[in-house]
Amino acid sequence: MFSEVSDLESSECASSIRKKRFNSRLPQLGLLTLLVWGSVVFLKTLNSTIHGEPGFRRLPTDCPQVTEDGLLKVSFENVRNFTFNPTLQTVQWIGGLNSPSEDMGLFLSVENGSYVIKSVYDQEYSRLLLKGKEFSYKNQNFTVDHLQASPNLNQMLIRSNTVKHWRHSTFGSYFLFDTETSSFNFIGDNIAKAEWSPNSVDIAYVKENDLYVYSSKKHATVSRVTDDGSAQVFNGKPDWVYEEEVLEGDSAMWWSPEGEYLAFFRINETEVQEFPIPYFSQHEDDLYPEVRLIKYPKSGSPNPSVKLMIYSLENDKTTAVAAGNESSLITEVLWVGSSKILCKATDRCSDILSVVLADARVEGKHEVSRIESSEDSWWEITHDTMHIPKDESRGREQDGYIDLVPHDGYNHLAYFSPTNRSKPSFLTRGSWEVVDGPAGFDQDTNDVYFVATKKSSTERHLYRVNLHKPYELTEITDTSKEGLFSVSFSSGMRFALLSYLGPDTPYQKILDLKSTSSDTHARGNVVGKTLYYLEENEVLRNRLHQYAVPEKTFRELNLGEDENGQDILVNSYEILPNDFDPTLRNHYPVFFYAYGGPNSQQVIKAFSVGFNQVVASQLDAIVVVVDGRGTGFKGKQFRSLVRDNLGDFEARDQIAAAKLYSEKSFVDSEKISLFGWSYGGYLTLKTLEKDAGQTFKYGMSVAPVTDWRLYDSVYTERYMHTPQDNMSGYNRSKVHNATALGRSRRFLLMHGSGDDNVHFQNSLRFLDLLDLANVENYDMHVFPDSDHSIRYHNANTIVYDKLLSWARQAFNGDFVTGFY
């Protein structure tokens, strides 16, 4: 999927907040340094001032990096050195030592390079698992790159010699470490994925696309589950498109709850066509480019075929589950009992969702419990369905599951019990949306915790609802104040890590949700007792007093009426430059940033000081971000409007917003620009094309799709159907009117030649279009061998330097006078 360039995506907190997708997924690392929180100092001579004692002195106001109030401006150097980067911790909750009713809040921690088990309930508790991050095996030294504890915590699965593959996947050497004997055992080299069984004995691993089972008791591989793995057939791990667009991860295997069965995907991409990517600067002595072939299904071309397989360890036998057909996408797999498995499948265009249930004990036994139409929308791929286990003593007569299902046009929690039930009991309702499905389930109380946009689509608050009391919601976080929260729970649901991510300085706290007392002074939560703060970020909070950080102002813009006479209301925020003076006339340039992909979101109240603030501070420009129609969290009708017609409504809304700003007396309407990356790069070009120089005078497009026939099938067909069924839509949606684009004053195009996601082919085709139309008012920068994130060989520094300097030239009028 696409990665989006967002103020969230590059931070740790982003993992808890669903964005989108071109899934959603910017180039994640690109913004890691630029769009989110930044850092230290811009001049060594100012180091003592920036990091000095609380009584810091203000600098002379004639310094270009200082405001009229004597505060420091935000600069690239700050952002790149993490001056504004809050500390955020992750808590890897673990079970294994206690039953849920005896939840001590155990978690895995790394202290002084060693791996230890700690407890949030008893801070004196500590159990050493592995000392140090380096170890020796047969006189060779290795480094711990990744560690996964067995469920009973007696053994560690360790990966070393890690080699990155695609976005999520790696290869490496795997070892087994016994915490009781302090001994290491070697499992194998060049392993793509390895996962513990719930029984703490068996390990499933993938090597050369075949699936094996290793026994930690016998210290040997005891089963070869498949023998057909090849460059075309993937067992237990995804191919490129399933990793990028469907599973959004590197694993395609699922252990049953008791470790009796192992489900996995068998993906055959024999029919998928290859795309060659040449690499020119990998080795200095190479005279010819290295060409890497990648199986990449473009729109309308053959997809890989996928089958869900179930392996029985006891019988050493594998059977297939009949889920869909050869063209179906299997999007989610979930065990809903010791032997029952649920999988979701859609047609290749995500119009029809089928939910299939199978029993691993009976070969060929399966049923289709649900068949649902998207009704002029599409089914997004999700991985948040939650099994609700049977417990008659607590009123749960049969196994069930909670899913996220549209209800009156908004995504809400739906409870299906028994698991083959076709119609759910909805737990939530209203003109707001649940985000990412259920966040946690308390088996003792039947409480379901979830994050939702109930207060505002730009905020995230935590709530709970009981299975037996639908629609009766309890607020966990304080909704009287603005807030963006994420949460994770201990194994028994007693403790929670509550992370406040904005709009103010982030903090994290550990809550006891089952305490008989509550906080005297609520900060964040109104339910539960705060045990302690994991992070308060006081250093960052104090440091911010030294800077004039331009603030975001959130508002809902009215862009006028649509074809049905309804007001078009969109979320937006603006960042005003330092020392902003509204009495000036025709003075301020406006820098629009857009992503705009289907179901994505950029306008969200997260703390961030990054590239947008750099632009406002350094270019004396107003920065505006608008989430137009097609984006997420404002309901099905708002987002599904773009189906089969990408680029149209999104571009209209950017133009309408720009016109509103062009009418402001303090705005220089001749200096309005638009910047976007990935889907945002596409939207930039489509907006310039539709606008034809009337409102947007400048544009900056990075790594854009220019023709949806050239992008991958799974993402594109979800929103556009196939070219065979919607050729007119594809023709409208591609960037095609070069003459109209040429009416803008000037635009910038940048792309990495090694982009395996949005192929450089898109920009080359676009350049050819410009040549044929005699359009020359643009600049081009190619980054050799860089992928979609553009970071190879210092490229990430250059791409943002170029964006800032090019925008400065545009706002200075250089492209009008010709001096550039």
Give residue-wise pLDDT tens across range 579-635: 999 999 999 999 999 999 999 999 999 999 999 999 999 999 999 999 999 999 999
pLDDT on residue 97: 52
Distance CA 414, CA 394 (A): 19
Domain regions of the chain by residue span: 12-38+547-817
Query: Which residue of the set 16, 701, 788, 789 is catalytic?
Result: 788
Tens digit of pLDDT for each residue in 363-414? 878 899 999 999 989 999 999 999 999 999 999 999 999 999 999 999 999 9
Compute φ and ψ for 133, nearest 5 degrees: -105, 10
Nearest CA among 346, 318, 321 for reference residue 332? 346
What is the Cα–Cα distance from 762 to 777, expressed in whole angstroms? 19
Give the residue from 109, 105, 120, 125 showing the smallest Cα distance to 531.
120
Catalytic residue among 678, 701, 713, 733: 678
Angle between helices 795-812 and 611-619 (to 10 degrees): 40
Least confident of 150-154, 222-226, 243-247, 727-731: 150-154
pLDDT of 180: 86
| DSSP code at position 598 | T
**Active-site residue flag, 165:** no
> Helix, strand, coil: what percent of the chain each, to 5?
20, 35, 45
- pLDDT confidence of residue 109: 86
Mean pLDDT in residue range 304-310: 96
Residue type, 532: Y
Q: Is 699 a residue whose pLDDT tops 90?
A: yes
The pTM of the full predicted model, rounded to 2 decimals, is 0.90
Contact 196, 203 (CB under 8 A): yes
Of 736, 740, 720, nearest to 645 by C-alpha is: 720
| Candidate from 29-43, 166-180, 201-215, 601-615 with smallest mean pLDDT | 29-43
pLDDT of amino acid 100: 54
Per the prediction, the chain carries an average pLDDT of 90
What residues form DSSP beta bridges with 592?
624, 674
Q: CA 290 to CA 276: how far, in whole Å?
A: 10
Structure-model confidence comparison of residues 517 and 610, the more confident one? 610
Predicted confidence band at 157 (pLDDT cuts at 50, 70, 90)? very high
Q: Is 678 a catalytic residue?
A: yes
Question: Contact 147/172 with Cβ under 8 angstroms?
Answer: no
CATH code of the domain occupying 12-38+547-817: 3.40.50.1820
The Cα–Cα gap between 570 and 197 comes to 47
* 788 given a catalytic annotation: yes
| Percent of the chain residues past pLDDT 70, beyond the cut | 91
Measured distance CA(296)–CA(326) in Å, rounded: 17
Burial of 697 (0-12, 13-18, 19+ CB in 10 A): buried
> Catalytic pick from 210, 627, 755, 785?
755
For every residue of 420-467, DSSP letters joined together read: T-SSPEES--SSS-EEEEEEEEETTTTEEEEEE-SS-TT-BEEEEEET
Cβ–Cβ under 8 Å, residues 675 and 592: yes
Q: What is the mean pLDDT of residues 269-282?
A: 96
